[in-house]
């Protein structure tokens, strides 16, 4: 019979998360459908390392930009960070969502608008009694994705603007007495 270690509730980088130690090789972060954040880590991983991992994911754009020695280099590294987490190539690549992530801001600024494009296209087809034009939708989606990758707009990308923080705060307030 396994002894199951109870979950801990922690905060790092403005993100509150449920933490569990497991028999895993790497630190893993998952944003659940309800917006809460769960992190699992190897049995021997120091808590400071786990907190640093979470904080780093909360500010992934700033971390990428910080590598640059000039504005142009910072833009280059930001574009690569956005690209690696979303399209994984150029506008016409074929590995769409290969590196799918739910990091701070991606759901609100990338995945949600992409789903809205799809829903709008389907509703338009239904309302006009025409077949869904997959090729046209794919082109609109590629245009949106490539514009997002090449953007330097930070609105909604930080943990401070993420949907995770208010939900995590609400959960923390609800269960605070059990944590302390």
Question: The whole model's pTM is what?
Answer: 0.47
Question: What single string gives the DSSP state of each residue in the chain?
Answer: -PPPPPPEEEEETTEEEEEEEES-SS-EEEE-TTS-EEEEEETT--HHHHHHHHHHHHTHHHHHHHT-SSHHHHHHHHHHHHHHHTTSSSTT-S-TTTT----TTHIIIIIHHHHHHHHHHHHHHHHTT----HHHHHHHHHHHHHHHHT----TTTSGGGSSHHHHHHHHHHHHHHHH-
Q: Write down the pLDDT at residue 130.
A: 93
Q: Write down the pLDDT at residue 161.
A: 47
Q: Write down the pLDDT at residue 1.
A: 42
Residue-by-residue pLDDT tens, the chain, 180 positions: 455 567 888 888 777 889 999 888 888 887 665 657 788 898 888 888 888 888 877 677 677 788 889 988 888 888 887 777 676 667 776 666 666 666 657 777 888 888 899 999 999 999 999 999 999 999 999 899 888 888 887 766 654 545 556 666 777 778 778 776
């Amino acid at each position: 019979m396994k002894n199951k270690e109870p979950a801990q509730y922690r905060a790092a980088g403005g993100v509150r998360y449920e933490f569990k130690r497991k028999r895993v090789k790497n630190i893993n972060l998952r944003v659940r459908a309800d917006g809460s954040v769960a992190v699992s880590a190897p049995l021997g991983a120091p808590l400071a390392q786990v907190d640093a991992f979470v904080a780093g994911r909360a500010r992934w754009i700033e971390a990428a930009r910080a590598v640059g020695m000039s504005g142009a280099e910072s833009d280059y590294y930001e574009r690569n960070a956005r690209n690696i987490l979303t399209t994984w190539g150029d506008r016409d690549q074929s590995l769409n969502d290969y590196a799918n992530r739910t990091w701070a801001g991606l759901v609100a600024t990338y995945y949600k608008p992409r789903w809205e494009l799809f829903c709008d296209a389907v509703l338009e087809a239904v309302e006009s009694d025409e077949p869904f034009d997959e090729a046209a939708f794919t082109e609109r989606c590629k245009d949106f994705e490539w514009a997002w990758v090449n953007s330097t707009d930070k609105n909604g990308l930080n943990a401070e603007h993420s949907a995770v923080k208010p939900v995590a705060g609400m959960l923390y307030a609800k269960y605070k007495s059990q944590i302390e």
